[in-house]
Amino acid sequence: MRTLPLPTSSSPTTSSLKHPPLRPRFQAGILKPEAIQGLIVDTLGILGPKLVVARGDLNRKEEWALEGLEDIAFYFAVPLAGQYAFAPLFKRLASSLGHNLPQLSIGKALTTANQNNPFLLGAKASTLLATIAVAAGLEYMVPHIKNVITAKAYNTKNFTAVANLETARTEVKKGEVDPVQKARKRVVPVIATMAGLIGAATLLPALVIKNGGLRQAANFFVKHFDFGRSSAFDMSKPILAILALVGLGGYMDAARSKLELKEVATRVAVFTIPYYLFGKELVGNALARILQNQFVKEGGKRIRIKQLVPFLDAKLPKTSFLDFNKVISDVDLVQKLDKLRLSAAVKSAIIGKHQFLNYAKFGLSALIVGVLANLVAYHQTRKSHEKEQQLTFAGQQEKPSPARPITKQANTLPAFKAYSPQASVSATIFQSPANPFQVAYSV
């Protein structure tokens, strides 16, 4: 399941361009700053913990397949679909309506200067709606595709084999779901939903131009679900939040048994919620204090950063992690450093250390919480499975068996030979299940 990467700072100012370490390193193509950052965080905080505490080779292979597919859907579907599929389509559609739009303007965050442009609003709303539809559809299907890969490549349909609790099997027992059949059932509704939203997106440009109420709705949609500010067609927090929620629904729906569903719910309760509410903030504040106490060379002397930068020595905010990042975001830090009489080398050193910690605090918090969460989830799964096995065994033991008659055919008695050569005595013995020592005879 995905986590929200570090929120990017506001649009770069002219002062930030003086410092090369702040320039986004991946502006072109599909390698966007938010996507690269998300990959780093996910590798350290999601895939890393799962591989560390993997319950076996099959579990490890399944996690590799899951993370690879999910990274493509979660971080690259939006830039790919937005920049190379839908932006050119709706740019041409806007041109056919009598207005020529630069393609990059569709992918850049909306500004106050162009928020009233109906042509741009229509093109951006359409691009965003279609892009989110494709990315969300792929994200929802990723767990199902993972299950199909496990079933076909490793001949395993039972989650208990992935959890290393039972041997792999292709048959489905009572209480389990056939993952291949379920994935096939989900393909048509997901594709139909994606196609419907894309179809609605194609109608938006013309409708936004003609309808003032719809224009306000498009303005609201674009304002709250626009692309990121780091570069054109970059990810933004609202888009990431939508994909995270859709992905959670996909995980729950793709569960192959109640045991797997319970494990997903446990991981969400133990990892996802604490990670958003507490983990990043606690680790972020701790690493910020590390930044304050780092040394840099100034005038041939090693001096602590907090002695050179007074505002970093202020009391750290306790409200939330997002407010913390707003206080000393990259751009804000550069602007404040420009007001101090520091050498360019010292400024670059401080910015470099700050950037490193900004990445490290997400990976470290996810790694710490992720390992513990997976261990708790795996322990819960093992205990639940053992309880189910005990209940099943106890039910089989307590089930009363019916009285089974034991019939013995006796030899013909010599005393009756004169009267009836075919005569025989049949003795039937009944043994009571309740009291094995109580025997009834019938002749």
Q: Where are the domains of the chain?
A: 16-396, 406-442
- Alpha helices (H) along 170-277: 179-210, 212-225, 237-253, 258-267, 273-274
Rounded to the nearest integer, the mean pLDDT of the chain is 76
Instruction: Find all residues with CB under 8 Å of 251, minimum gap 6, and list them.
Output: 1, 143, 264
C-alpha dihedral sign at 138, 370, 47, 7: positive
In the predicted model, is pLDDT for residue 410 greater than 70? no
Q: Give residue-wise pLDDT tens across range 163-216.
A: 999 999 999 998 899 999 999 999 999 999 999 999 999 999 999 988 889 989
Q: Give residue-wise pLDDT tens across range 68-78.
A: 888 878 778 88
In the predicted model, is pLDDT for residue 406 greater than 60? no
Q: Please report the pLDDT score of residue 134 as a whole number.
A: 95
Does this model's pTM top 0.85? My answer is: no
CA angle, corner 188, sides to 183 and 193, nearest 5?
115
**Residue range 284-297: average pLDDT?**
75
Q: Give residue-wise pLDDT tens across range 198-210.
A: 999 999 999 998 8
- Higher pLDDT among residues 385 and 443, named by residue: 385
Q: Please report the pLDDT score of residue 424 as a whole number.
A: 46
Q: Please report the pLDDT score of residue 322 as a whole number.
A: 31
Contact 263, 377 (CB under 8 A): yes
Question: Which of 7, 24, 48, 9 has the alpha carbon at shortest distance from 363?
Answer: 48
Residue appearing with tokens 């003086």: 18
Q: Please report the pLDDT score of residue 26 as a whole number.
A: 34
In the predicted model, is pLDDT for residue 262 greater than 90? yes
Helices (H) and strands (E) in the chain, counts: 18, 5
Retrieve residue 215's tokens: 């224009």
Q: Give residue-wise pLDDT tens across range 333-371.
A: 777 777 777 888 888 888 788 777 766 666 666 666 678
